[in-house]
Amino acid sequence: MAAVDWSGRAANARRFIWTAVVEEDRLLLEGDRDRDQVAHHLVELAAMDPDLAVGLDFGFSLPLWFLEERSLEHGMAVSEETAEGWLRACPPPFWGRLGRRRGTEVQHRRTELEVAPRAKPVFQIGGAGSVGTGSLRGFPLLRRLRQEGFAIWPFDEPRLPVVVEIFPRLLTGPVVKSRFEARQTYLLGRGWPTEASVSEDAFDAAVSALMMAAHGGQLASLTGEPDAVFRREGRIWQPSELHGPR
């Protein structure tokens, strides 16, 4: 089981990207990889463990109306050149850069509205808490992993190895992640390695991987997505007993 706390930063992304792997109740937490190195590492992990499930914490696609308007099947259909062009120019409906304000367009995907309504929209590519850069620079990772034999759920029929979209706040539950003491107390209370308290990014990766491992049976038994909207907009995975962010 693996989880990646991802970053779409243009510079020094490796400082903020963490990969957590859980094997036989043992946590291996690593940082200092750039986006290409993370892709290579995940491919290596799957070569060693064909039953691997990977959680990535960025939006796998965009709202359906936007996909329809641009004749895109889903996020993986957005080329790297197109994504980088959006990041440079920040054309509507993208916003967050200097002089670019949020428009009136529908911002969220259905999965966000259903399970993570406080999540920032993919269209926000600048400003506090923006996640759009991570998604736009994450689509190439999804394409690479698909080419290497991973199923990207819910776009593909599930099989192992599989990649799912995660929203760490759903998996951690209530905790003030910005405070070191709060992160450490959280981990101690669950008997989990406190090394994951070193940063918010490391914490998110570690807790996500540990939660995925605790519910590995659900990941192994994923079924095909019957809903046509989710098959294009993507769907955030969460354990069946969780019911949205707290």
pLDDT (tens digit per residue) in 171-200: 988 889 889 999 999 999 999 999 999 999
Residue that finishes a domain, picked among 84, 111, 134: 134
Supply the pTM of this predicted model: 0.93
Domain boundary among 114, 134, 154: 134
Domain count, the chain: 2
| Same domain for 142 and 213 | yes
51 shares its domain with 160: yes
Residue 111 within any structural domain of the chain: yes
Does residue 245 sit within a domain?
no
Are 90 and 118 found together in one domain?
yes
Shared domain for 9 and 122, answered yes or no, is: no
Query: Would you say residue 239 lies in a domain?
Result: no
User: Does residue 241 fall inside a structural domain?
Assistant: no
The pLDDT tens digits of the residues spanning 103-156 come to: 999 999 999 999 988 889 999 998 877 889 999 999 999 999 999 999 999 999
Closest CA to 44 of 186, 161, 204: 161
Residue 1 confidence (pLDDT) above 60? yes
Q: Which two structure tokens, joined as six digits, stand for 225?
A: 């997505």
Note whether 15 and 96 are same-domain residues.
no
